[in-house]
Structure 1
Amino acid sequence: MPIYLYWGSDDFAMAKAVDELRDRVLDPAWASFNFDKITPEQPDAAIFALNQAMTLPFGAGGRLVWLVDTNVCQQSDAQVLAELERTLPAIPESNLLLLTTPNKPDRRLKTTKLLQKYAEVKDFSPLPPWKHDEILAAVKRAAREVGIQLTADAVELLAESVGNHTRSLYNALEKLQLYALSAGSNALNAQIVDELVTCNTQNSIQLARAIREGDTATALGLVADLIERNEHPLKIAATLTGQFRTWLWVKLMIEKGERDEKAIALAAEVGNPKRVYFLKKEIRSLSLQQLQQTLPVLLELEVSLKRGGEQLSTLQTKVIQLCQICLASPRR
């Protein structure tokens, strides 16, 4: 397919995918003739990119036209739409048109609908931090790509250490790859990962765990660290909401008498039913009522942040409230 639309804020993962397309399409000897990188600053960037996408390549290999940070899927433009309708069905098979944007495409726009018809669309949004199973799967895929073998406990620790940060994951895997080359180890275990990889302990999932335990001091320390590391407050709030919603669903299913872990996993949107066992242990000390009480507070946190409330103090206030809920009695 000669048309691709990449969107999302994981710029590291997107850059890797773009490099793969370049290697696949371009002949190195003719790359300077057949590669166009068109930025938003260029006049009529979208129209120019579509015209270039119709130009046959010189010499060997194909032609790659890259429209960077485009807004064609966020803003309506009759001229661009008309040019897309004329050009997309006619792009030569030797050429590849790539559109990238950090923003989610607006599905209501005709330009977006047209691109969805003709293009291969790929989402490069970071994985939600609370989707532990998907992060584990991403770690396994990246390890296979780099060419190193990890034991199950090493995969778990690496996922815990880097979370959903793709750049940190590949940086860690590069260290582990160098170690594997010198040590000749077939499979690296958690002890090696612990020695070589710096654990990113200041993450939102660990904040959720501190809140669950009612550990106010640790929770406030994590909030301060997250803000200092420029973690977006709304992202922190979304992670907390996702984690507490998962815990609530698991508790609700248990209270209803459900014992089938697959059924609980389905209701809680947990990809791996085996993880339900650990989730049940995590919420053992909390009542259903306590977990229900956390969601209105989390909603208030999100609303306050979206209305421009002072980020650090808003987070601190709501985190204290959440810790107090989790400490309240009775607990069962």
Structure 2
Amino acid sequence: MAESVPVVYLLHGEDDFAVAKFVKELQGRLGDPSKAEMNTTRLDGGSFDLEELRAAAGTMPFLARRRLVILEDPGRKINNQSMREKFLGVLQGLPETTALILYEKKSLDKTHWLLKWAAQAGGRAYIRSFAVPRGPKMAEWIRSYAGERGGEITRQAAALLAETVGDDPRMTALEIDKLLAYVNFTCPVDVDDVETVAAYAGGRGDFFALIDAIARRDGSKAMGMLHILLDEQPPLILFFSLVGHFRLLLQTREVYEGGGQDAAVAKALGIHPYRAKKLTAQAKTLSMQTLENIYQRLHDYDLEIKTGQLDTELALETMIAALTG
């Protein structure tokens, strides 16, 4: 007796990059790209109806063994018990010539109705969680992805890139491809390569330049850099990034005044040595009193923003003008 293949693939989690890769691999099993696309139907969870799903899933594949139906965020519309029962009825009746991918763009709790159904469906259902890799797991993911692409990255460089880019696998993959091209796949990517080439990270490269300009009281440079950063991310996110950065600078300055250098800062703050080096260099240019004054000003702005007394972008511009004037 032939082993049954899954009819329903229940994927859930925030790592849409890994999900897209999984779906592409599954689609590749349908044959050449033109046939695969002909046998693929995509439905939106916010607008599909059950008859549309039933018709798509019940259509016989064309010159292929199976057809693929992809439904994202079905929970957006299947939001009451009656609809759930009808939806599960459709899943129960799916032919083996169809592979239905259900992708929920958030991690599901083990008590979620879809997970409970899939768990008791036996071999007809495949369940996989796609959590975004974070911290050390992201660094390992980076090394693994580099290997898949035919290159190599050192552990130290992977850790630095993970801290630089953050928890964004899609953007990280682009940075890895860029780094591998930079070394021409002839040697492992090292820390120097990451420092030279990796430009993303929510604009962090420019972020350090912004702080440097503030320390030099270069108002024109600081304001220009601020607006570049504002083009990359919402003002509120940038504001809180600034608060977090000056908190780190305060802690760095405290370690520095206690006789510590880069290594001591990295250990005390639990950050990568490269970032510790950058923070230490900046903290040396700003006195403890100056940093405390800036941090207090940010605290005051925070209160005014939260109470609606001050626009976030205006607060950032006002602060830059005050610190560099």
- What TM-score results when the alignment is normalised by the length of structure 1? 0.58
Match status 1:144 vs 2:152: no
Q: Which letter does structure 1 place at the counterpart of 2:151?
A: I
Corresponding residue for 1:224? Answer: 227
Corresponding residue for 1:120? Answer: 128
Shift of 1:226: 1.6
1-structure distance, mates of 2:293, 2:256: 15
Q: Gaps (5+ residues) in structure 2?
A: 1-5, 119-126, 258-262
Cα deviation digits, residues 100-131 of structure 1 (max 9, x gap): 55xx5798xx9x93245445343569x7xxx7
Contact 2:78–2:84 (CA<8 Å) still a contact in 1?
Answer: no
Two-structure CA RMSD over aligned residues (Å): 5.7
Cα deviation digits, residues 194-218 of structure 1 (max 9, x gap): 77x4735981475267448645535
2-structure distance, mates of 1:254, 1:178: 38
Which secondary structure does the structure 2 equivalent of 1:72 belong to? helix
1-structure distance, mates of 2:44, 2:320: 42
Q: Which letter does structure 2 place at the counterpart of 1:120?
A: R
Match status 1:20 vs 2:25: yes
Q: 1:54 to 1:122 in 2, by over 3 A?
A: farther
2-structure distance, mates of 1:6, 1:211: 36
2-structure distance, mates of 1:248, 1:191: 27
Q: 1:87 to 1:159 in 2, by over 3 A?
A: same
2-structure distance, mates of 1:310, 1:123: 35
Q: Which letter does structure 1 place at the counterpart of 2:237?
A: K
Question: What are the within-5 Å matches in structure 2 for residues 202-221 of structure 1?
Answer: 203-204=203-204, 206-207=206-207, 210-211=210-211, 214-215=215-216, 217=219, 218-221=221-224
2-structure distance, mates of 1:166, 1:34: 28
- What TM-score results when the alignment is normalised by the length of structure 2? 0.59
Q: Which letter does structure 2 place at the counterpart of 1:44?
A: D
Corresponding residue for 2:186? Answer: 185
- Alignment equivalent of 1:95, drawn from 99, 103, 115: 99
Which secondary structure does the structure 2 equivalent of 1:150 belong to? coil
Corresponding residue for 2:3? Answer: none
Which secondary structure does the structure 1 equivalent of 2:130 belong to? strand
Q: 1:296 to 1:164 in 2, by over 3 A?
A: same
Question: What are the within-5 Å matches in structure 2 for residues 260-271 of structure 1?
Answer: 270=270
2-structure distance, mates of 1:167, 1:141: 14
Corresponding residue for 2:316? Answer: 315
Which secondary structure does the structure 2 equivalent of 1:235 belong to? helix
Corresponding residue for 2:121? Answer: none
- Alignment equivalent of 1:4, drawn from 1, 11, 20: 11
Q: Gaps (5+ residues) in structure 1?
A: 256-260, 325-332
2-structure distance, mates of 1:105, 1:85: 20
Q: 1:225 to 1:48 in 2, by over 3 A?
A: same
Q: 1:157 to 1:292 in 2, by over 3 A?
A: closer
Shift of 1:180: 5.2
Corresponding residue for 1:327? Answer: none
Match status 1:65 vs 2:65: no
Contact 1:162–1:169 (CA<8 Å) still a contact in 2?
Answer: yes
Q: Percent identity?
A: 23
1-structure distance, mates of 2:226, 2:316: 7
